[in-house]
Structure 1
Amino acid sequence: MPQLDKSPDDRVGQNVEDTVLGDLIGYRLKRAYMQIQPVAQQVLAEDGLRVVSFSCLSIITDNPGIVQTELAAALQMERSNLVVIIDELEQSGFIARKKVPTDRRRYALTATLRGRRLRDRAADKIRQAEDTIVGCLDKEDRTRLMAVLERLEDQRT
């Protein structure tokens, strides 16, 4: 049981009690993400990308001709928030935007060769960076973790 009568100076070097947070899945997922995200940000910044722009480029690369509404749904983002990111990717020459022939108000998004190469290179760098963090997990643990995370994600659909 924590002692509340200790001064802050007396607590230096002692472990902080945590009787609730450590048992919450969401909290543990957030803590794991907080280990991985800065590394991913650093690796992507080397190529002039952010996590969100890499995510967009990756989905567009895997789904040539995807429209903004579908991209927003895939990333669980507001469509209006994607406009700036799509503009940046297009201006950088990583994607092309073409009007959909059957609906000229919509644009099909496709990764350029340059964009596909960047996505692949960045993905490899992120995987390598993640390996430095999750290296304590063997292949079986990683496979099991990914399966559990997929099941959790599938609960929302």
Structure 2
Amino acid sequence: MTGMPRKALATEAEPSEMALESLVGYNLKRAYVILQNDYRAVMGEHGLSPRVFSALTFVVETPNLTQSDLARRLGIERSGLVAIVDELEGRGYLRRVAVPQDRRVQALSPTDAGVQAYEAALTLVHAHEDRMLQTLDAGERDQLLHLLKKIRETGE
């Protein structure tokens, strides 16, 4: 019969017994939400969002990166990058610089204020991650990062 709801397998299944608990995607999403909520609380109302922080990190660590390269590294469409770059430029954290070989292309260069904001944010992010991952020992944390990077590599 179509359109009829499926009957529950158990009337009061414990969360640990549910099929969702065995799914990597479900657990990644739940962990992400918890990390994201704490990140936003740590950064405060006027702090950098994760995407903006990631963009600033690339600009500071690889100065004169083009906007196209930044979009590729972030895994977003170039059109989606415009608002991020506008925000960083509006905060005085970066400037757009014409590329001498092709004046139609703009590179992104951090300002002194951008470098200082990045360093301050990075300190907060490290403290946030240390607190959120305190139940993992150093080996487990390294293993988690290694496994997450392997997953990313399959999709990139």
Aligned residues: 148
TM-score, scaled relative to structure 2: 0.86
SS at match of 1:155: helix
Whether the 8 Å CA contact 1:39–1:130 is kept in 2: the answer is no
The offset of 1:17, in angstroms, is 6.4
Q: Which amino acid aligns with 1:130?
A: E
1:2 aligns with 2:10: yes
| CA shift digits 1:82-109 (9 cap, x unpaired) | 1121112112110111011111111110
Deviates more, 1:46-55 or 1:95-104: 46-55
Map of 1:121 onto structure 2: 120
1:41 aligns with 2:78: no
TM-score, scaled relative to structure 1: 0.86
SS at match of 2:98: strand
> 5+ unaligned residues in a row in structure 1: which ranges?
4-10
1:103 aligns with 2:89: no
> 5+ unaligned residues in a row in structure 2: which ranges?
1-8
Q: How does 1:40-59 map onto structure 2 within 5 Å?
A: 40-45=39-44, 48-59=47-58
Q: 1: CA distance between counterparts of 2:18 and 2:45?
A: 40
Which contiguous aligned blocks of 4+ residues in structure 1 show a shift greater than 6 angstroms?
none
Q: How does 1:18-29 map onto structure 2 within 5 Å?
A: 18-29=17-28
Residues 45 and 106 (structure 1), Cα distance of their counterparts in 2 relative to 1, 3 Å cut: farther
Whether the 8 Å CA contact 1:43–1:122 is kept in 2: the answer is no
The offset of 1:19, in angstroms, is 2.8
Instruction: Report percent identity of matched pairs.
Output: 34
The offset of 1:46, in angstroms, is 5.3
CA-based RMSD of the aligned residues comes to 1.8
Residues 143 and 17 (structure 1), Cα distance of their counterparts in 2 relative to 1, 3 Å cut: closer
Q: 2: CA distance between counterparts of 1:99 and 1:53?
A: 22
